[in-house]
Amino acid sequence: MNYLSATEALRLFRSRDLSPVELMTSVIDRADAVEPHVNALSERLFEEALAQAKQAERAYAPGGDPRPLEGLPVATKDEQPITGRIASDGSLAFTDQVALVTHPVIERIQAAGGIVHARTTTPEFCCAAFTHSKVWGVTRNPWNLDYSPGGSSGGSGAALASGTATLATGSDIGGSIRIPAANTGTVGYKPPYGRVPAMPPYNLDHYCHDGPMARTVADCALLQNVIAGPHPLDVVSLRPAVRLPERLGDVAGMRVAFAPNLGDWEIEPEVAANTAAVADALREAGAIVEEVEVGLRRADVMRAVFIHFGAIFGPMVARIPDQDLLTAYARAFVTDTRDAGDFLTGLELEADVYARIGPLLDDYDALICPTTGAPGLLAGEEYIDTKLTVNGVELDHYLGYALTPVFNIASRCPVLAVPSGRSSSGVPTGVQIVGRTYDDATVFHLGAALERVRPWSFQEALPDAR
């Protein structure tokens, strides 16, 4: 029951073959069993969740009127505040800070009947592609506990993969939804900029995206349809609200560009093989898939990203009076990005990135490429003194193993991250399905078609804890 899809759970609720209380109880029992191993939940709201599940049961009784997410257990990323609850951002510097507002995404989930039964772990300030902090400790990957589930939405990915949530939320400023999705074999969506409302001041940062995470493409679409749309407090939130179709997967005749690499990223052979298998599966589904060269330089992308982070994230971290409270990786983040370059240079580098992506997407309906060049990062490792080696090459900075920041730069492109297979370590790998600017539906059609041809399972995630 813990790996029941959200869409199937809703069907069973409506037929009264399953109750929201039964599902919530199962999810809670699963969390009790696996959380000592995984540590994906920063806060448990189980008592309140069970009470809400009992209320949801009444909505499915004859004469009831269930809302779109009525009774579903939804784990929300701890970064997204809830009024009256601690808003630490994973930092010892803010463990006494209480949220005065609720994030628009959470407001909409609750208004749609979703039950926030837990909040999920992040790295400090969400400034890493792994998930551990001094506040919550190390979060581990359910597929192999020696590995991280990625970051910064690592807790959400790990909760989905370990069966302690039916749906989850994430946010993405450099790959923070897509990297955990790849590492945990789940589905994550980076909507185009402005599609999902966020909170100031980061709603004004075009790298920033809040979005859904799930175990299936249809579930991801279900949650996206709830959280998307304009919000009165977010000036960049788009009108009108765009809804994804319920029927997904028709890709016959679609032209898809297959990029084994976006340029000169290091790609492990296992990742390359799994990405090629996705291209073959989409051909089987009826799409026209052609291999292309994108021609980006990783060094240019990383410099643009560090300039951007150095202008926004770095100063935020640097403002904290007691730097000794911070993790080593948060302090290193400030140092790494401080002198990357001036803002104008960053904009010029960003323009060069889209000059490669835009014409390609004018010729093709979508682009597929790896999410990361290697299956995952080690749990608890900060990659400060130890360098990350990918495909036999030592990287200057560990984040250079991810191909995700390209599409924070090209932020108006929707990106659906889906599983591509598993590595020899047991850790999953993933691909990015990149659409034309603001063309959300196409990436979901391609994801659903891939899921149909190459279905994935969670039966080997934490088998000892079943």
| Alpha helix stretches (DSSP H) within 16-134 | 20-38, 46-59, 104-111
Q: Is residue 205 part of a domain?
A: yes
Q: Is 152 a catalytic residue?
A: yes
pTM (global) more than 0.75: yes
Question: pLDDT truncated to tens, each residue of the chain (466 aa)?
Answer: 999 999 999 999 999 999 999 999 999 999 999 999 999 999 999 999 999 999 999 999 999 999 999 999 999 999 999 999 999 999 999 999 999 999 999 999 999 999 999 999 999 999 999 999 999 999 999 999 999 999 999 999 999 999 999 999 999 999 999 999 999 999 999 999 999 999 999 999 999 999 999 999 999 999 999 999 999 999 999 999 999 999 999 999 999 999 999 999 999 999 999 999 999 999 999 999 999 999 999 999 999 999 999 999 888 888 998 999 999 999 999 999 989 999 999 999 999 999 999 999 999 999 999 999 999 999 999 999 999 999 999 999 999 999 999 999 999 999 999 999 999 999 999 999 999 999 999 999 999 999 999 999 887 687 765 4
How far apart are alpha carbons 164 and 131 in whole angstroms?
17
Q: Is 387 a catalytic residue?
A: no
CA 132 vs CA 45, 231, 353: distances in Å: 21, 32, 31
Active-site hit among 133, 148, 152, 423: 152
Q: Is residue 255 part of a domain?
A: yes
How far apart are alpha carbons 391 and 406 in whole angstroms?
20
Q: Is residue 214 part of a domain?
A: yes
Active-site hit among 133, 171, 176, 423: 176
Considering only CA atoms, which of 417, 419, 416, 430 is closest in space to residue 457?
419
pLDDT one-digit tens code per residue, 233-274: 999 999 999 999 999 999 999 999 999 999 999 999 999 999
Question: Into how many domains does the chain fold?
Answer: 1
Q: Is residue 57 part of a domain?
A: yes
Q: Is 77 a catalytic residue?
A: yes
How far apart are alpha carbons 121 and 116 in whole angstroms?
14
Which tokens sit at 323?
A: 């730097």
Q: Is residue 243 part of a domain?
A: yes
Q: Residue 359 has what DSSP assignment?
A: H
Concatenating the DSSP letter of every residue in 5-35 gives -HHHHHHHHHHTSS-HHHHHHHHHHHHHHHH
Other CB atoms within 10 A of residue 437 CB: 15
CATH number of residue 237's parent domain = 3.90.1300.10
Domain that holds residue 367: 6-465
Q: Is residue 313 part of a domain?
A: yes
Q: Is residue 1 part of a domain?
A: no
Q: Is residue 13 part of a domain?
A: yes
